[in-house]
Amino acid sequence: MIRLALPDGHQQRHVIGLLEKTSIELSGYEQGKPLRRPGVNLDGVEVTVIRPQDMPAQVALGNFDLALTGVDWLYDHLFRFPKSPVAGLVDLGIGRVRIVAVVTEATPADDLPGINGLIAEGYFPAPFFRVASEYVNIADRFAMARRFPHYRVIPTYGATEALLPEDADMIIENTETGTTLKKNKLKIVDELFISVGCLIGRRGVMEEADPGAQRVYDEIMGIDGVSLHRAIEM
């Protein structure tokens, strides 16, 4: 039996559209009100619906063999657990978002060298530079790589943009169009990477010759626009 995790939330509509291009049929995965365990027409496959951000850890723990999540959540997991048994298998080309570093429009810098200059000048009043994000490990990796001195990463759980400027100096956020950022008088000072939906799996799962895993993989690889997963550089 292969255990497959599918997402709820805003990624669900993208996954529904993707699966409509295959012969995989689900019952109980209607948008907005999915069952936690929808039915599927593939023998040897069991489906569960969970949050995309939980999928890499759940695959690592052995609770699922395959999952459809985002590259963003895969790399947030791998940056913390580089020896995790989770691997990206297929980039799906759906749910495309930019992962970006954002500050207020009033901040007198438009790029990272400018931000580092402001930090050195003492422009930001806290005893450390505050970077808020749902992507805690991506944010930490980013801040270290950009040599932010005396920074702290503040975990958030939605509506991250509301923390600027009183409770954070920068946020690491995803955006499709940038409209919400502009509406909140925020601006992008760097782009970390592009995230798309991806199929992830426990390392070695495709070498085990399980017919359920192979069927899911083959169905997805037969869709126009998907490709083998490529590691990002950040």
| pLDDT, tens only, 191-206 | 999 999 999 999 888 8
Which is more confidently placed, 209 or 90?
90
pTM greater than 0.75: yes
Q: Residue 193's pLDDT is what?
A: 95
| pLDDT, tens only, 87-133 | 999 999 999 999 999 999 999 999 999 999 999 999 998 899 999 99
- Domain 2-95+196-228: CATH class, spelled out: alpha beta
What are the counts of helices (DSSP H) followed by strands (DSSP E) for the chain?
7, 13
Tokens at residue 112, please? 């990272």
**Which backbone phi and psi does 157 adopt, to 5 degrees?**
-135, 55
- 97-194 has which CATH code? 3.40.190.10
**2-95+196-228 and 97-194 share one CATH topology?**
yes
* % of the chain surpassing 70 pLDDT: 100
Q: Where are the domains of the chain?
A: 2-95+196-228, 97-194
Q: Residue 139's pLDDT is what?
A: 97
d(CA 227, CA 232): 14
Question: Cα angle vertex 31, ends 38, 58, to 5°?
Answer: 55
Q: Residue 134's pLDDT is what?
A: 96
